[in-house]
Amino acid sequence: MASPTTKDQSHIEIDDINEESQQITEKDIVEKDMAPLPGSSIHRSSSRPQLDVSGAAIQGNFEEKDPAILLPNQTDDISHLALDIGGSLIKLIYFSRHADRQVDDGRKRKVKERLGVTNGSRRSYPILGGRLHFVKFETSKINECLDFIHSKQLHCGGMDPRCWPSDAPPSENAVIKATGGGAYKFADLFKERLGVSIEKEDEMNCLVSGANFLLKAIRHEAFTHMEGHKEFVQIDQNDLFPYLLVNIGSGVSMIKVDGDGQFQRVSGTNVGGGTYWGLGRLLTKCKSFDELLELSQRGDNSTIDMLVGDIYGGMDYSKIGLSASTIASSFGKTISENKDLEDYKPEDISLSLLRMISYNIGQIAYLNALRFGLKRIFFGGFFIRGHAYTMDTISFAVQFWSKGDAQAMFLRHEGFLGALGAFMSYEKHGLDDLMVHHLVERFPMGAPYIGGNVHGPPLGDLNEKISWMEKFVRKGTEITAPVPMAPPATTGLGGFEVPSSKGVLRSDASKLNVGVLHLVPSLEVFPLLADPKTYEPNTIDLSDHGELEYWFTVLSEHLSDLVDKAVASEGGTDDAKRRGDAFARAFSAHLARLMEEPAAYGKLGLANLLELREECLREFHFFDAYRTIKQRENEASLAVLPDLLMELDSLTEDMRLLTLIEGVLAANIFDWGSRACVDLYHKGTIIEIYRMSRKKMQRPWRASERKNNIRKVVDDFDAFKGRMLGSGDRKPQPHKRALLFVDNSGADIVLGMLPLARELLRRGTEVCKVYQYDPSLSPSIYAERFRFQRSTIQNFMQVVLVANSLPALNDVTAMELPDIVAEAAKHCDILRGAAEAGGLLVDAMSNIQDGYKENTPSVPLMVVENGCGSPCIDLRQVSSELAAAAKDADLVILEGMGRSLHTNYNAKFKCDALKLAMVKNQRLAAKLVKGNIYDCVCRYEPAS
Amino acid sequence: MKFEGLPSAVYISVWFDYYTVRDLPKEEAAEGSDMEVKGIDGKLEKSDSTSADEISHLSIDIGGSLIKIVYFSTNSKCSTNDEAPTLSKERQEVPYGDLNHHILSGRLYFVKFETSKIEDCIKFLSSKKLQQCGAQCHHSHAVDKIKIKATGGGAFKFADLFKEKLGLTLDKVEEMESVVTGANFLLKAVNHEVYTYIGGQKEYVQIDQNDLYPYLLVNIGSGVSMIKVDGDGRFQRVSGTSVGGGTFLGLGKLLTKCQSFDELLELSHQGNNRVIDMLVGDIYGGLDYSKALERNDSSHDVRFGKIGLASTAIASSFGKAISENKELEDYKPEDIARSLLRMISNNIGQIAYLNALRFGLKRIFLGGFFIRDHAYTMDTISVAVDFWSKGEAKAMFLRHEGFLGALGAFMNYKDESTDSMPPQLVEQQPAKRSSSCIVDRIHNSTRVHENENGATDCRLRVSSSFKIYDEVKRC
């Protein structure tokens, strides 16, 4: 346990860092553990400068504890609903508007002013964020679908989400967009049951606009599937058209798509999903599509199909390129044998049937692609539904007939093309302008709700939850099974099914493939990325099974500790414990699911995994598990900050920079995401650890030793120093604006990054001072200079702290930072002036220091949120605030493992970039820097 | 053309006709129930197993489901035929002046067996005097040196069996090559070999031999091969599908308990695929379809006009078997057979058309035993080709559909020693009865040719010389 500074006197033992330490007493630990500080939230502290709290809307929500309402989304407004009523399935998409958290906020306004961003420059969207949900029902059980719509009041949405009062009765003229044949068939039923009219949308049109949207807006949508290996394909949006869209429903449609709204149905076949299921039912007595698919996995089609080898006595017909195992005639072997249907294994029949149909579709699709010179073939529709063997067979057919020239690609939202398209046919659906970076996909577990209100008991302990789930699933069974997709009524539920690990081939592989799409129009691509197209956030590729296993183990082991923290953060109530349990189960289920099929939720990187954990915590209403710890560490660190600053100020410029970088690296040891470090915390106080860490830190930084050091520590400090201080007489051009991506709370931010920020501010101030006073100048010239100086300062030296929007582990958030800075500013003029100039000290401070402001123009220190709630950062999706701040920035400093090692280690920037982190994981150290745990990375890359 | 090295060409007079088991005298039927013989002369050889037919050349095509045999017999019985006088006269007219052409009078027989009943085939062959063939080929009566031309996968698989049981060596001829050679021969040499089948109307197509190539040959056996043919011996297997005759029979057997192809075809006649297939109309409102139309007329026009699907078009084969709570037993075998037949025929037609389109081939010829002259099959394939090509391409069928490979292998004898049988059988005389060409109504019969004296009167000349073609043209 980390402890407040009052425990300084206790002795510590930090094996890995310091042999001289002594053991901490049991009592100390107990005391620390027993001393939670409920209600001492940093935001409530009146002793601190007044915060602008308007932005804390979410924080306020976080504090609410209503044990009875534990499920998310209960306040969602339903605004749009679209249906695709097919021959066997009803696909339903609905949009729920999310509570707008873009509350106007004084700090943000100030920041925007500083950054020269006006609200007008932001595009205005018909919808300001929300969620797209994907649900399926069996057509034959349409009443269940109607019930679902009714209970969630989905049909009341109408055309304009903002005009719709949540409790108003459905208007007389309510219209639902729908496509698929059933839109005709069930129009009367909808009118009768729900009082709404169905507005039919052209099916092909819907398929195409749905596919176009998915291919453009969702990053990990299209993938190839060869020999059981799934690989996501990066779609170049400028080179998307034309393509062939093959929609495999009951029958198969093949559509040549030339652009938005430009398409032509060029072919199709009546041998499709309906054929598979229909023939399969007749031949095997299977009760569901799922069952039939499941059967096929255990089948051996060589007992049914006549293979080339059968005809040629085991030989290949190599002259025409047919191997012995090629199917010469599907079901051909059943001709000659005196066997009845009962004599064949249903498994074999199912597989044979599946191969026949998949292969045939693949072939016809390829021939059509060839005919129109189309390079890309996308397959969608319910027949595929993520079934590995189906995809493999189609891929094989395309590959075989094209001799490798063409590749079959599949879509993750395959079954929802039509429904999405119908959704898009609303005049103001708001999806038109959405780009890839505006969408975040989440895979909620604990969203078992029917209707607009929460039904059933709250999520509790495992048994309670599971029994609830079982009950729900049983009810859901009536709704959805036996359907091809057989998902529970919401897409998020599948995760609770214990995955039946049966190798790579899973029939239900698509169950969790589709999450809830969060539309966040304010997200943007970080403008300083050298090449956003090739940018890959993750350093560690989890498609390597070894890596995957390792990180899964790490996360699993860390889980119980995390749950403890989370429960404690919520006051350790019974309710919190229940939720903690549920979280653990849910996250474990996610892990198990991903372990089985890493690409189930899209391309999987470590960053995604870490973010999933945070999302999962939030889902169970743990909004800030480390709140207490962060507070204590901040306080403890702030207490020793003045001493540190004094020490720093006594150093020369050269030494100071080195000491600061060392300090950043040393302080980065405080990371609750690192197992090794958590172990340390149990043994020492924050300041002790920091000192030990720094002491150790000095070794690789001694110039004489650095080169001979066996460890391959990444150390570009000299290059960075050269850039900052110049060499000899050459003074380098100072940076205009520095973005500092900060990591952890406590020592990391207070003793590490803040002093570094202060140094940058000081340098900026000194640049300003050049202009400040020159007695030889006439007053008029001075005034001109001064004006120039003001603008120069604003244009040239700004320091922006970039922090998380939402809590993740013990990372400091943008919400907390102003507080911390304000506290630090009490002891430091530089920080105070800068914070004031940057709008961080809104009320009290600026009044007090009025005179100061007049005399010394200050370099502003600002805080922006990064748009993330993860320990890592995907720079393709950052807040518009950060994107705006990045516009004139010419120095990026990424700090901490999550943001500079796990992600972005290899990222290239248009500007100078410094990546600082202590490697707190042995495996990562070995992999990245061929070093050991606690080695440090100081990677400096000048603008490329 | 130089004929010096060639001893002779053989002129044969041949009647083609089709016989099935049903037409056989009872004792024949009993003997080999699944044997089908396409003989000449409107009459089957009665004494298959006992007569002293002199089979001079025999070729065999052993496929996955069927064994096809073509043999040439100099049996003199043909002269006893009713029509013999005519034939004799014609035969006497035969020599066109090439005195060194030896005329062999005989018949070309077409026989088939199920591959699973290869024992019957062996029994049949052992009853024939195949030595003649060997003698001609090698001037040797040594039993173990007798070679017969064989093609198909079974030529490899059953080579040992033939050696053991009959002492025959199977001289393997490449399968695709055989099929192409056989087709080329038929297309060039036999009049009224090709016909289209549209809307129940069978129409013979005159093939312009100068504008024959390239064409797409679709050979539907157990599986389907699609071959682009550019000329004699110039071809490429461009595609194929595993959904073929074997699939029809295989699935059909599992679903209907039918035991034979013909039985299944027969069943399909009486079936109604709407019971099982999901039609476009089923999706768009099923029985209420017309109501839907009333309600939304304009939209309907847009929709169906755009997609081009009639409400009776099959949206999903067997798609209706999904939604109804019926078991296999609840469906009529007839309906199943019909649905199956349509599915497979339609699919073949589509893939064939796509391949023809791909290579810019105007003509698509369909052969192989799947078709069997079966009206509904041909109709479905024709409709598929017509539908997808928007009327631009036509499916054409070959009367000797099933024997392409065997015929091709037969032709292959030219490559043997110098005294071999010449390679080209050339039908010199157009059928007399072209005017009375049989046009069946689809639903009346599966066999177009089986009745009447549908014998096509033709003379085949067996020659090694391409010059023959010139002569043919002169005829």
Alpha helix segments (H runs only) across B52-158: 84-93, 118-127, 131-138, 154-157
Which of A319, A331, A364 has its CB closest to that of B250?
A: A331
Grade residue A245 by pLDDT with cuts at 50, 70 and 90. Answer: very high
- What is the CATH superfamily name and number for domain A629-941? Uncharacterised protein PF01937, DUF89, domain 3 (3.40.50.10880)
Is B397 in contact with B194 (CB distance < 8 Å)? yes
Comparing A927 with A372, the larger pLDDT belongs to A372
Grade residue A443 by pLDDT with cuts at 50, 70 and 90. Answer: low
Asked if residue A898 has pLDDT above 50, the reply is yes
pLDDT number for residue A470: 40
Pairwise CB contact (< 8 Å): A279 & B115 = no
SS3 track for A491-544: HHHHHHCCCCCECECCCCCCCCCCCEEEECCCEECCCCECCCCCCCCECCECCC
Pairwise CB contact (< 8 Å): A368 & B322 = no
pLDDT number for residue A739: 92
Grade residue B148 by pLDDT with cuts at 50, 70 and 90. Answer: confident
Lowest-confidence region among A504-518, B180-194, B246-260: A504-518
Peptide bond into B214 cis (omega under 30): yes
Query: Does residue B420 lie in a domain region?
Result: yes
Query: Does residue B102 lie in a domain region?
Result: yes
Distance from CA of B300 to the nearest CA of A (A): 10
Closest chain A residue to the Cα of B279, Cα to Cα: A270
Substitution target from B298, B299, B316, B369 for chain A, most A beta carbons within 10 A: B316
Grade residue A554 by pLDDT with cuts at 50, 70 and 90. Answer: confident
Chain B residues in contact with A249 (beta carbon < 8 A):
316
Closest chain A residue to the Cα of B302, Cα to Cα: A202
Tens of pLDDT along B204-236? 888 887 888 899 999 888 889 899 999 888 998
Q: How far is CA B235 from CA B167, B415, B426, in A?
A: 33, 19, 21
pLDDT number for residue A679: 67
Lowest-confidence region among A523-527, A670-674, B121-125, B385-389: A670-674
Comparing B369 with B335, the larger pLDDT belongs to B335
Grade residue A299 by pLDDT with cuts at 50, 70 and 90. Answer: confident
Strand A798-803 with A861-865, pairing: parallel
Residues in contact with A704: Cβ distance below 8 Å, sequence separation at least 6, in sequence order: none
Lowest-confidence region among A89-93, A638-642, B352-356, B451-455: B451-455
Task: Give the helix/strand (H/E) hosting A85.
Answer: strand A77-85
Query: Does residue B48 lie in a domain region?
Result: yes
Number of structural domains chain B divides into: 1
CA atoms within 13 A on the CB side of A276: 34
Segments making up each domain of chain A, as ranges: 66-218+414-521, 222-293+357-411, 629-941
- Please state, rounded to an integer, the average pLDDT across all residues of chain A: 71
pLDDT number for residue A14: 33
Centre a 10 Å sphere on the Cβ of residue A763 and count the other Cβ atoms it contains.
20
Asked if residue A892 has pLDDT above 90, the reply is yes
Asked if residue A172 has pLDDT above 70, the reply is no
pLDDT number for residue B352: 92
Closest chain A residue to the Cα of B156, Cα to Cα: A312
Pairwise CB contact (< 8 Å): B317 & A367 = no
Mean pLDDT, residues A471-475:
39
Q: Does A265 touch chain B (CB under 8 A)?
A: yes
A927: which 2 tokens? Answer: 């992999």
pLDDT number for residue B340: 92
Which of A86, A200, A360 has its CB closest to that of B296?
A: A200
Range among A927-931, B262-266, B338-342 with highest mean pLDDT value: B338-342
Grade residue A698 by pLDDT with cuts at 50, 70 and 90. Answer: low
Asked if residue A127 has pLDDT above 50, the reply is no
Rounded CA separation B403/B111 (Å) = 9
Pairwise CB contact (< 8 Å): B320 & A327 = no
Mean pLDDT, residues A273-291:
87
Distance from CA of A348 to the nearest CA of B (A): 13
Query: Does residue B283 lie in a domain region?
Result: no
Q: Does A644 touch chain B (CB under 8 A)?
A: no
Chain A to chain B, count of Cβ pairs less than 8 Å apart? Answer: 252
Residue type, B390: K
Tens of pLDDT along B10-64? 333 333 333 333 333 333 333 333 344 443 333 333 333 334 456 667 888 888 7
- Please state, rounded to an integer, the average pLDDT across all residues of chain B: 66
Is A361 in contact with A410 (CB distance < 8 Å)? no
Mean pLDDT, residues A3-22:
35
pLDDT number for residue A517: 77
pLDDT number for residue A322: 66
Chain B residues in contact with A403 (beta carbon < 8 A):
none
Q: Residue A103 CA to chain centroid, in angstroms?
A: 23
pLDDT number for residue B402: 81
Grade residue B473 by pLDDT with cuts at 50, 70 and 90. Answer: very low
pLDDT number for residue B300: 38
Tens of pLDDT along A26-54? 333 333 333 333 333 333 333 323 222 22
Chain A residues in contact with B218 (beta carbon < 8 A):
none
Q: Residue A941 CA to chain centroid, in angstroms?
A: 27
Query: Does residue B41 lie in a domain region?
Result: yes
Residue B50 domain boundaries:
10-174+407-440+451-474
SS3 track for A159-188: CCHHHCCCCCCCCCCCEEEEECCHHHHCHH
Chain A residues in contact with B350 (beta carbon < 8 A):
267, 269, 364
Q: Does A179 touch chain B (CB under 8 A)?
A: no
pLDDT number for residue A512: 37
Tens of pLDDT along B80-114? 333 333 333 333 333 444 434 444 566 777 888 88
Rounded CA separation A347/A352 (Å) = 9
Comparing B64 with A509, the larger pLDDT belongs to B64
Which of B306, B318, B351 has its CB closest to that of A364?
A: B351
Asked if residue B333 has pLDDT above 80, the reply is yes
Query: Does residue B462 lie in a domain region?
Result: yes
Mean pLDDT, residues A116-135:
52
pLDDT number for residue A685: 66
Q: Does A349 touch chain B (CB under 8 A)?
A: yes
Chain B residues in contact with A87 (beta carbon < 8 A):
278, 282-283, 315-316, 319, 322-323
Tens of pLDDT along A788-832? 555 555 555 788 999 998 898 889 999 899 989 999 998 888 888
Comparing A336 with A891, the larger pLDDT belongs to A891
Pairwise CB contact (< 8 Å): A330 & B243 = yes
ipTM, interface predicted TM-score of the complex: 0.72
Q: What percent of chain B has a predicted confidence (pLDDT) above 90?
A: 9
Pairwise CB contact (< 8 Å): A313 & B239 = no
Chain A residues in contact with B246 (beta carbon < 8 A):
306, 328-333, 335
Tens of pLDDT along A586-612? 788 778 777 877 877 778 888 888 888
pLDDT number for residue A506: 39
Which of A281, A340, A401 has its CB closest to that of B322?
A: A281
Grade residue A781 by pLDDT with cuts at 50, 70 and 90. Answer: low
Chain B residues in contact with A304 (beta carbon < 8 A):
250
pLDDT number for residue A227: 78
Q: What percent of chain B has a predicted confidence (pLDDT) above 70?
A: 58
pLDDT number for residue A12: 33
Comparing B130 with A75, the larger pLDDT belongs to B130
CA atoms within 13 A on the CB side of A879: 20
Rounded CA separation B304/A728 (Å) = 81
Asked if residue A741 has pLDDT above 90, the reply is yes
Substitution target from A330, A374, A396 for chain B, most B beta carbons within 10 A: A330
Rounded CA separation B416/B398 (Å) = 28
A93: which 2 tokens? Answer: 């998409």
Grade residue A64 by pLDDT with cuts at 50, 70 and 90. Answer: very low
Grade residue B426 by pLDDT with cuts at 50, 70 and 90. Answer: very low
Q: How far is CA A565 from CA A104, A553, A622, A749, in A?
A: 32, 19, 10, 21
Asked if residue A244 has pLDDT above 90, the reply is yes
Query: Does residue B226 lie in a domain region?
Result: no
Mean pLDDT, residues A895-904:
91
Pairwise CB contact (< 8 Å): A185 & B288 = yes
Substitution target from A287, A308, A329 for chain B, most B beta carbons within 10 A: A329
Asked if residue A670 has pLDDT above 80, the reply is no
pLDDT number for residue A776: 64
Q: Which of A661, A567, A673 is nearest to A611 (CA)?
A: A673
A573: which 2 tokens? Answer: 């109530």
Secondary structure class of B457 (helix, strand, coil): strand
Comparing A511 with A201, the larger pLDDT belongs to A201
Topology, domain A222-293+357-411 = Nucleotidyltransferase; domain 5 (3.30.420)
Q: What percent of chain A has a predicted confidence (pLDDT) above 70?
A: 66
A908: which 2 tokens? Answer: 């290239």
Chain B residues in contact with A371 (beta carbon < 8 A):
354, 357-358
In A, residues 281-300, which contact B (CB 8 Å cutoff)? 281-283, 285
Chain B residues in contact with A333 (beta carbon < 8 A):
246, 250
Is A711 in contact with A931 (CB distance < 8 Å)? yes
Range among A527-531, A732-736, B135-139 with highest mean pLDDT value: A527-531
